[in-house]
Each structure stands twice: as structure tokens, then as C-alpha cells.
Structure 1
Amino acid sequence: MRFTTSSASAILAFSASAAAYSATGRTFAVNHFYGKGPLMMGRVDPIVSPGGPSGHVHAIQGGNAFGITMTDTQALEQSTCTSSLVKNDKSNYWTPSLWFQDPVTKELEPVEMFYMNVYYFFEATTDKITAFQPGHRMVVGNPSLRTPPASGGKSILDLSDGTPQPVQFTCPRSSTASPLYPTDSDGLHGVGIQDPGNKGAGVGFPDQNCDGYASPLRADVHFPSCYNPAAGLDNYKTNMEFPTNGNCPSGWIHTPHLFYEVYWNTPEFASRWTPGQGTQPFLLSNGDPTGYSLHGDFISGWDVDTLQQIIDNCDAGDSGMDKCPGLIGGLNDPSTSCNINDPINEVITGVMSALPGNNPVTGWGVNVGSGGSGTTASMSSSPTSSNVASSQAASSQAPASSQKATSAKEVSTASSSASFAAGVPVSSTGAKNIQTPGSTSTAADIATTPAESHPTTLVTQVATTSTGSGDTVVTSYVSETTVVWTTVTATGAAPTSTGGSSVASGWSYYGCYQDTRDRVLTGIKLANVGQGEVTNTKCVDYCSARGFSMAGTEYGGQCFCGDELSGSSALTETSCDMPCEGDGTQTCGGGLALSVYTKNSTASHGRRSTRHMHRHLNREISS
């Protein structure tokens, strides 16, 4: 679907008073994901590298119709599940994965993606904000960069403020006694540059441990929000621009401002390197140890009416889109998981001597091409975001991105064969049936379910011959491979609110209570019960051992302690509806909703705390 001239004119006739957003302030709703890890990890990027392997590994969320080639703008509507909690969002969101390089052995290990949030910001504007259309593609960031931006470490998201700087890293810490970046860092010698307006963020990797509980090292990626309908939905190099003073150029379409938060489990490696030394051990999957090449991709798979209803009516904020009034289509079951296997059949986990795709670890201060492959690429100096995005094309292996292979037809030229063969193992098998771990379906069952298949193209054979004149001809043959995905449903009894007899002696369930962004249990915020281990029992035990009389669990995996509920009110039990990460038979609150336990039958409702802290940026703090 594309915008017509008449529809664009109608959009521009908007009155801001008709929507939840306005000309004076930002509203927003966070899109949460669920399940066991991201949708997929793999060297797949259908925007920049269609038809073949991407140059580096990505972490992908969203609809399971995601694949190597996605030329159909409606392709994501074929998804049979999505890792987005909102059912009618079958979009795909992806960023490069993060790696740790051992300072001694130089061996490489993938860093687990802790979790991802996608903010849908509805910025202050007199434009009408309009839903993304199916197949809308965006790319932001430059995978060739190894030098800091001329603007320094600050984030710039409006053209009136200068050249856009849409990517940063945020590093929550237990102690800020030392600066996040060396005060004399020029961003060219082992560590990035501090954001002058935010002590917890900057461009490039910092040389400090990001040890905030539930909020380790975070990649921040902002997308432009002005769409040029003359460029088209799939022209990711030129179709988007950042606004000027909050508004888009005449004739352009103002879309939501997407913001990715991607948290990586860097504390797992904290004991293996020394912070504060002007160097750090993390790098992106394209071989970038600087972090300047951070980038993000997006393909819209939204049901347009659902997203427009959210834009026009929802200011749920951190509580999430799942709390938006009148949400069309409903929510996915958070006890299930939507995952697909990597169609590039290669090893991308464990200790490795080289990054997948053979990306060398490049140095500081020298920009590269091919997403870290070591070749040269010209860089655009234009301040427009479209040109910033267009340089993303350098990250693909160009011959692979230009191929549109069809079944049983030859794809010639030596360069294309070399590009494909470098990333895809040779195989002579027919259709491959891939099953999500934990699924009980058999291969035979999957093979007979055409409604849940998605075609991709993979190299199956590469042959080299010599001609009489001495020239070498390399020919690769491709065939269509069917990849099938299933949704895994966790087994077990339905969650209960009390936790049964497992709750500590002398403690009882008090009820489901409203939490706030300031927090209503302030004794210990985000208690470190253990990643993925939170239950009501463990939370109560933790708080009791530290002398608190109240404990509360929230969002399936968070624990809070205190002696009073500051500024809270009782909610219906249906508001506490998320299974505990450590025991799916127990309910651990919901979005800004606490399952509260007390040592006795009474609770104190004190004055609400005025201290504001972001829900994901608090580490355990004991009063």
C-alpha cells in the first residue's frame, strides 16, 4: 500500500486536538516483547542484504515471516506469531549483536541480549502523526564508522539542532564516583565520548562497568519520523528525514518516532576485564570495537488501524502498549514464545576465534567499508538523515544484495558466488524442516503445514571451471528452502496470585497494587533475586532477610521491598497477570502492578515519594 496525493493532502489537514498527542508535549507507549530470547539471532538482513547472508549477526524481534528475502510489502502479514506482546504488530526490529573479546586470549564470545524495548514516541507537533504502512522500511546509523561524530557525544534528533546524531550507549551504574568516559577522551583511542547533557550516556563504548540491575549496557537507536512518499516505502536510503522544529516538510508524512532500547548482559563478563583504563572489551558483530557503527533496521508489519488507534488514543508510557485503551486485536500469551531458526546454517554461539562472517576486529579512528570487512567505502558528509541511512548499504556484501535468485536457475559471475559461498554452507539436501526447541511437532507434521512455511533462498552448490583462454568461471546454483516456525507454549498449571504454601511462614498475600515510576515500595528497588529466578517465594525471603515487612513482585521478573506502600491504590486482580519467571504457576504482578505480600494483615499507605527514577534504570538500592 502506498500513499496517494489525495490521501497525503487529507493527512495534512489534521487538527492536533483530535489526538492523544499535541503541539506542546510528547506522549508515548512502549512496545514490549515476550518469550525466550529474541525472535532470531543470525546473519540476516532483508533490507540491506536481500537474497543472501548479511555481513554480520543481528538480533531480530517481531513477526516470524522474517526471512532472507522480503520483497512483498505485505509479507509480514503472513506471520503466524510475533514476539511483540501486541498481536497486531508483526513488524521486525533488528540491531547488530554484541560480543566480548577476552583481553588475554583475544577469543570472542557472544553477549546475551538481556531484553529489548521499542518506544513509539508521538512528539510535540502540529502535523498529523500517521501509522506506518505495510512494508515501510527504515535504516539508521552507519556501520562503517569508527570515528566519533563531529557533533561530539550529544544526541541530536531535530535538524534545527544540527547534524542528526541518532545512536548512543547508556550505562547505568551502581556508583558514579568516576566519570563514564575519560574526561580527556578524543574518541579515537580506545574509548568513546561523554554526552555533555547526560552523565549516563555518550557515543561509542564507555570504559566502565554497566552494573545496574535489570539495566546493563544499553544501545540506544533513534529513527527519523518524516516520511517522503515520493521516495517510496522500500527506498530506505532516501525515504526518511528527521523533523525540523518538530514538523516535517510540506507534502511529507509524519510517522511515530521509533526508539530502540537494547540491553546486553555485560555484567556476565565483569570479572574478566578492568574498567577505567581507557580501553574496553566489547564490540559489535561487524567487528567494531568503537561502538560508533551502531545501527538499526525496521520493516513495518503493523495492522494500520491498530497502530493508528494507538497513536490517536494512547499515552500509556512505560506501562506499555498492552495497557492502551481499546487495543485492537489483543495480546499474545506471555507464557509462550515466538522464535525461528537461523536460515544461515552456521555457528554463531560459543567461544570463537573469528566473528561470524569473518569480520576482523578493526581499529579506532579509521572508517571501514562492508560493515567491518576491512574494505574501503566512501562516506557521505551530508547532514541529512537519509544520507546517514544510505551509508548503511556499505555494510552488505554488494553482490549478495543485488542477487534475486530463483529456484533451479543459475546465478553467474565470480564475485556473487564468492560472496554467497563465504557465508552459506554447501548443501545438497532438499527442503529443510526447522523446529523450535521445545516443540512437540514432528518433522513430518511440520512438512505438511504449508500455511506456516516461508520461502528463502540458499546456495546449495558452487562449481569452478577453467576456460581454454585461462579465465575462471564460477557458477553457483541456488534452490528454495522451506523454513517452518512454531510457537512453543509453556506447560504447567495456571498462575495464581498467592504462590500457595511456598510463601514464607508469617507472610500473606495482600493484593494487587498500583506501582508508579517513582516506585511505591522504596526500601529496595529491583532486588537482585537472580536473573530469570524471580518468584513470590524468593522475593519474600529476600525482603524478610533484610528486615522489611512488605514485598512485591512486578512484570514477571522484578522484586521490591519496603515497609509501606507510598502513594498506591488497590487494583483488580486481573491487573496482576504475569507468570513469575522462576515459577510459571505463580503470578508476579503486571505492568506497573505489584503482587504485594506482607508480614501481617495490615499495610501502611504513606506519602508518595517525589523522587523520579526510570523503571529500567534503577539498580538495587537499600535504604
Structure 2
Amino acid sequence: MIVDRLDPLVNPGVVPSPHLHQIVGGNSFNASMDPKTHDLPSASTCTSCTFSEDFSNYWTAVLYFRARNGTYRRVPQFVSEGLRADGGITVYYIPSPNANEKVTAFKPGFRMLVGDATARANNPNARKVCHRCMPATGDNSNINCGAPDSQYLPNKMCPGGIRSVITFPTCWDGVNTDSIDHMSHVAYPTSSYTQVSVGAYGTCPASHPVKIPQVMYEVMWDTQMFNNKELWPEDGSQPFVWSTGDESGYSQHGDYVFGWKGDSLQRAMDARCNGAVCGQLETQSSESAMKCTKSKTVQEDIDGWVTEIPGMAMAE
């Protein structure tokens, strides 16, 4: 995993990009990644993913804490199921529960985006991105967005930290591997929405008839170190801010660029693999995965207490 100001999907070629992201996956990630010339499996020499054939890239915004004195500090992450000690993103690939329904793996060059980095108000598509104030004992039941989750950031101290979940569409138009907004070529099912899985279930619309894997991100933020009333604003308002400069929570988003080697993802979907163990795929140890690192492109202070979030001056 790296934390850097790069975004080849929304801001291709821009260095630095407007805000900070955490990025996992293949180590060929860079600011441009032209889908016509950049093939992740062949360009990458390693991946930080559990499955060693997965050179895809996954990235999300980064969470900061704003102290009473106006300074900021990046919120660390903690170990969760499927998440290593150095933090990052737990990525789920969920096949259709209907064994008779064909799930078509993504094609080379496929990419998509969920959420809106500029959003500061409620999004009617509430099932896409959500936050949960975790209890002290931890609660990984219902990994999908549903009660008691919310689109906005929790407005109270969370004993077990904050979890954010990002759920991608599972219906594809069958033609385009990308679109101008990185969203229009995919869609959510039109029916049978359940709390069990927001996309693996349901009927695809006629405009997007091809069922694709349910991709879901789970990110665990260790906000416990900031559970001190002396640090929080005097008025008690919630002090967490996304790296987009957003205090509401609505701007959290997830980017995805497909990079599985050969037909490995299709084999996994055909076998209905769901979880960190799949007999159809090659895996690597956590130690090997964590050794896959990449030097930062933008050299700036992202840790310790800072007077502004990286990129904040660009947004002003």
C-alpha cells in the first residue's frame, strides 16, 4: 500500500492530484496508466493483494482528524478480517448467488468509479458508500451498507473506530470498458435489493445486461486514539475530514482499475469463489504481499500533525 496524491482515473497525468489517496494492488500504478498502453499484469513486478494473480489497483480517499487547535493528523488503520497490519483495503469479489447465472469477469482496460469527491450533501444512491461507528468489540456482520450505517461520518466517538464500505455496480453494458464519467458503462441491479448483498442479487437493466462480479471495499479507520474530549472541537462537532477536504463524509469514493492475470478472475467466478481462499487462484503470504511497495511520487508530509491536509491549498 502507498499513500500518495495520484489519481490516474479522474486526474490522469496530473502530479500532484488534488487530494490524497491510499492505493493497493500492482506496483506499476502511476499518474497516467493509459488503458491502451498500460497492462497491469505485465507492467507490475508484484502486488500487495492476497491473490498473486491480481495486479489490479484499488484506491480511496484518506481520513484525517482535525484537532481543537486546528491541526490535522492522518488516521491510521487497524487489522480487520482480510486486512494486514499495515492497513489498506479489504477487497471483496462476490459472485452471483444464483449458480445458473453467468458472471462475466472484467476485460483488460476495464475501470470504474463509485462516489463523488466533490459531494458535500446526501446522495440519493445511498447504497454506494457508507460509514459505520464500530462498537468496542468490533462488528463485521453485514459488510454491506445498511442500518446502522450512514453516508455521513459518525458524529460521536466510536469505541471501535470507523468503517467505510464502498460498493460497486454489478451490471455492465457489455461493450465499453470505461466511460467519460467512469460510471455510465456500469449500473446497479433494478430489483431485489437486499441487505445481504447490494449487487450480487437483482436483475440487471436492459441497458446493462451483463452481470459482472460484485466488487466491494471495506476500510477500517483506527479513530480510537482520538477519542479524547480535550482534542475534539469545543462545540462537540465531529472532527474527521476526508482528504478531499470534506467534513460531512459524503465525498468518500472508490476507484478501480482491472488487472487480473489472464483468465484467473473468470476461473474464480466460474468456481463461485467468495473470500480469501479459492482453489482456482494462486495466493501469497501476507509477508510477501507487504514487501510489494512503491516509492511515493509526491514528496510531502502526510504523517504527524500538519497545519493543512495535503492538497488543501489547491482546493482553495
State the match for 1:205 in structure 2: 153
**Which residue is equivalent to 2:59?**
94
- Is the partner of 2:225 in helix, strand or coil? helix
For residue 261 of structure 2, the aligned residue among 275, 279, 303 is: 303
Letter in 1 for 2:305: V
Instruction: Give 1:341 deviation, angstroms.
Output: 1.5
Structure 1 residues 287 and 128, CA, compared in 2 at 3 Å: closer, same or farther?
same
Matches of 1:98 and 1:345, distance apart in 2? 19
Give the conservation status (yes or no) of the 8 Å contact 1:227–1:239.
yes
Paired amino acid for 1:219:
S
TM-score (norm 1): 0.43
Count residues with an aligned counterpart.
282
Q: 1:345 aligns with which of 292, 296, 299?
A: 299
Find the counterpart in structure 2 of residue 34 from structure 1: none
**Amino acid corresponding to residue 70 of structure 1 in structure 2:** M
Give % identity: 35
Q: Does 1:264 align with 2:221?
A: yes
Q: Which amino acid aligns with 1:198?
A: A
Equivalent residues of 1:228, 1:239 under 8 A apart: yes
Greater helix proportion: 1
Mark the structure with the bigger radius of gyration. Answer: 1
Confirm or deny that 1:120 pairs with 2:93. yes
Distance 1:106 1:230 in 2: 49
Aligned 8 A contact 2:128 2:166 in 1: yes
Q: Residue type of the partner of 1:353?
A: T
Q: What's the CA shift for 1:149?
A: 3.1
Distance in 2 between residues matched to 1:124 and 1:334, nearest whole Å: 29
Q: CA deviation at 1:127?
A: 4.2
For residue 74 of structure 2, the aligned residue among 110, 121, 127 is 110
- Secondary structure of residue in 2 paired with 1:350: coil
Consecutive unaligned residues in structure 2, runs of 5 or more: 79-86, 139-144, 192-201
Q: Contact 2:94 / 2:274 at 8 angstroms: preserved in 1? A: no
Query: Using a 3 Å threshold, how does the CA distance of structure 1 residues 359 and 119 change in structure 2: closer, same or farther?
Result: farther
Counterpart secondary structure, 1:335: helix
User: Are 1:132 and 1:304, in contact at CA under 8 Å, matched by a contact in 2?
Assistant: no
Aligned amino acid, residue 163 of structure 2: R
Query: What is the correspondence of 1:32-431 to structure 2 with a 5 Å cutoff?
Result: 38=1, 40-52=2-14, 53-73=16-36, 74-77=38-41, 78-103=43-68, 105-114=69-78, 115=87, 116-124=89-97, 127-150=101-124, 163=125, 165-174=127-136, 198-199=147-148, 201-212=149-160, 216-233=161-178, 235=180, 236-245=182-191, 246-250=202-206, 252-271=209-228, 272-273=230-231, 279-317=237-275, 320=276, 323-327=277-281, 330-336=282-288, 337-359=291-313, 373=315
Note the C-alpha offset of 1:304.
4.2
Q: Contact 2:94 / 2:273 at 8 angstroms: preserved in 1?
A: no
- Residue 190 of structure 2 aligns with an amino acid whose one-letter code is T
Question: 1:192 maps to what in 2?
Answer: none
Segments of 5+ residues of structure 1 without an aligned counterpart are 1-37, 151-162, 177-194, 361-372, 375-623
Where relative contact order (Cα < 8 A, 6+ residues apart) is larger, the structure is: 2
* Alpha carbons of structure 1 residues 313 and 230: separation in structure 2 relative to 1, 3 Å: closer
State the TM-score, normalized to the length of structure 2. 0.81
Residues 482-539 of structure 1, C-alpha deviation per residue, up to 9 Å, x if partnerless?
xxxxxxxxxxxxxxxxxxxxxxxxxxxxxxxxxxxxxxxxxxxxxxxxxxxxxxxxxx
- Distance of 1:287 and 1:112 partners within structure 2: 17
Q: Secondary structure at the match of 1:169?
A: strand
Q: Would you say the 8 A contact 2:133–2:162 is kept in 1? A: yes
Structure 1 counterpart of 2:81 = none
Counterpart CA distance in 1 for 2:204 and 2:101 is 7
